Amino acid sequence: MTKTVQHKEERAMKTLEATRRNCQQMVGKFPEGSSQHSLLRNRIQALLVAETALQSEVSSLPLSPEELTEALPPLYSIIRKCRKGQEKHEVESATYQRLQGIIEAMETAVVKIEASVEEA
């Protein structure tokens, strides 16, 4: 793995962890069974899978192809939501840049997960 790829994955890991912590803090604010609660629970699970994928080699991933595939839709959703949020801000703004970092982290995780599914 090149230093650039390793650095990109390290940044992605930090962003994934921060996003997961934010979701975990929010999940308790919604009643169990509500759509918001389910959405956050699914996102947390997908972010945990993404973290595991980034920490492991593609060939030795301790997750089944089904678990990996189930993690993709919530990650795609986060990417779409961030892109939608970027439309409301100037490219130079801090919010735009923060959302760009989240998008890049999710895309890095998606690429690794998709590679793992293809190899399985």
pLDDT mean by block of 10 residues, the chain; 120 residues:
84 96 96 96 96 80 88 97 97 97 97 88
Residue 58's pLDDT is 62
Buried b (16+ CB within 10 A) or exposed e, 51-90: bbbbeeeeeebebeeebbbebbebbeebbeebeeebeeee
Question: For residue 2, how many other CB atoms are within 10 A of its CB?
Answer: 7
CA distances, 83 to each of 24, 30, 86, 116 (Å): 22, 25, 5, 25
Residue 4's pLDDT is 86
CATH number of 3-119: 1.20.120
The SS3 call for residue 79 is helix
Do residues 77 and 106 touch, judged by C-beta distance below 8 A?
Answer: no
Token readout for 84 is: 């939608």
Residue 56's pLDDT is 81
Type of residue found at 91: V
Return the domain boundaries, the chain. Answer: 3-119
What is the pTM (predicted TM-score) of this model? Answer: 0.91
Residue 3's pLDDT is 84
